[in-house]
Homo-oligomer: A and B are copies of this chain.
Amino acid sequence: MTVENKRPLTLRDVSEASGVSEMTVSRVLRNRGDVSEATRARVLAAAKALGYVPNKIAGALASNRVNLIAVIIPSLSNMVFPEVLTGINRVLEDTELQPVVGVTDYLPEKEERVLYEILSWRPSGVIIAGLEHSDAARAMLKAAGIPVVEIMDTDGKPVDAMVGISHRRAGREMARAIVEAGYRRIGFMGTKMPLDHRARKRFEGFTEKLAKHGIEIADRAFYSGGSALAKGREMTAQMLARSPDLDFLYYSNDMIGAGGLLYLLEKGYDIPGRIGLAGFNGVELLQGLPRQLATMDACRLEIGRKAAEIIVARLETPPREVENQVVLTPKISYGDTLKRG
């Protein structure tokens, strides 16, 4: 174990230590081309002894290949996105490709910045949440000349490929199920969503479908920040104080729905008889509540997986043809809080 490793090691060091040309060392380290078993062994030994770590910066510049996949998502604290990442990882793990994550905090300007930064590393592909981007962002995505998969949402026109569910349809379906079950006085609770387009679309689909049945949302409330469980509890209490005749509460996510559920159970409400509840996302986290909240699976894992598969296929030589508009269809799970129609 030598100590003075101030200057990082280079291929040249390995070359000198092993008495093999830099080029051949490079071949060995990348498993490229034919190298005799003997040289191969010598090189590997030298590299390991020195503790050589290749410089991908130089490699990428020379080969014009960067095995990075940019993944751009709005948030990490939402659980939804880590799950999508998990799906992406599952697929990329079997390849040379590595995901690099950028977080936008639901801010278009930040999305633009993050995209710019990450594209300046010349990744081989981009997976980005949502279909709504600034003109500049869209222009960058197009100009990058790499596969781009927009995920989560399919209500709109992608730059290139897309994988997701129709949130508008998800909203409609839930409205249908609720109406069919006989509920009529419906309240809605969700995040303030000027920038969460998917939540907005679900809400739009929901109200639209209700309207077809001649029903209008009877009450609504929006929150931001804080513990979702606590907010759900709090908002539910307030809403029922204000509109005691509601017979259904639709929550824009499962966490606030769970808060509402716990509150109503404590108060002794008859669920789903006197009042029904539903959330959205199908978060596994919540199994274990006293009652199973009605919800709709957002297909997070599957979305990540499919998106990564598209990227991988497109990057093969020659590119493998794949479906590049994948619309998944989430199923309602009625749980114990929504009567069957």
Contact = CB atoms under 8 A, between A and B. Distances in A.
Interface stretch (A11-19, A36-44, A79-87, A169-177): A79-87
Nearest to A260: B288
Contact of A89 (B58, B103, B259): B103
Given A55-B122, A290-B266, A227 B284 contact: yes
Contacts of A228: 285, 288
Contacts of A139: 1, 51
A63 B122 CA distance: 17
A89 to B, nearest CB: 7
Interface stretch (A150-158, A199-207, A214-222, A229-237): A229-237
Interface string A227-265: 111111110000000000000000000010001001000
Nearest to A110: B93
Interface stretch (A112-120, A183-191, A325-333): A112-120
A100 B103 CA distance: 11
Contacts of A79: 77, 79
A228 to B, nearest CB: 7
A122 B57 contact: yes
B77 A288 contact: no
Contacts of A145: 5-6, 8
Contact of A98 (B89, B117, B289): B117
A181 interface: no
Interface in A118-166: 119-122, 139-140, 143-145
A147 to B, nearest CB: 14
B285 A53 contact: no
Contact of A121 (B56, B61, B85, B117): B56
A195 to B, nearest CB: 18
Nearest to A56: B120
B229 A287 contact: yes
A266 B121 CA distance: 54
Contacts of A121: 56-57
Interface string A54-77: 111110110000100000000011
Given A76-B76, A82-B76, A287 B230 contact: yes
A101 interface: yes
A211 interface: no
A286 interface: yes
A77 B83 contact: yes
Nearest to A9: B143
Contacts of A66: 57
Given A143-B5, A145-B5, A116 B53 contact: yes
27 contacts: A5-B145, A8-B145, A51-B139, A51-B143, A56-B120, A57-B66, A57-B121, A57-B122, A61-B61, A76-B86, A77-B83, A82-B82, A100-B100, A101-B101, A227-B285, A227-B286, A227-B287, A228-B288, A229-B287, A229-B288, A229-B289, A230-B288, A231-B288, A259-B288, A262-B288, A262-B290, A266-B290
Closest A-B pairs by Cβ, 8 of them = A229-B288, A230-B288, A227-B287, A76-B82, A230-B287, A56-B120, A259-B288, A233-B288
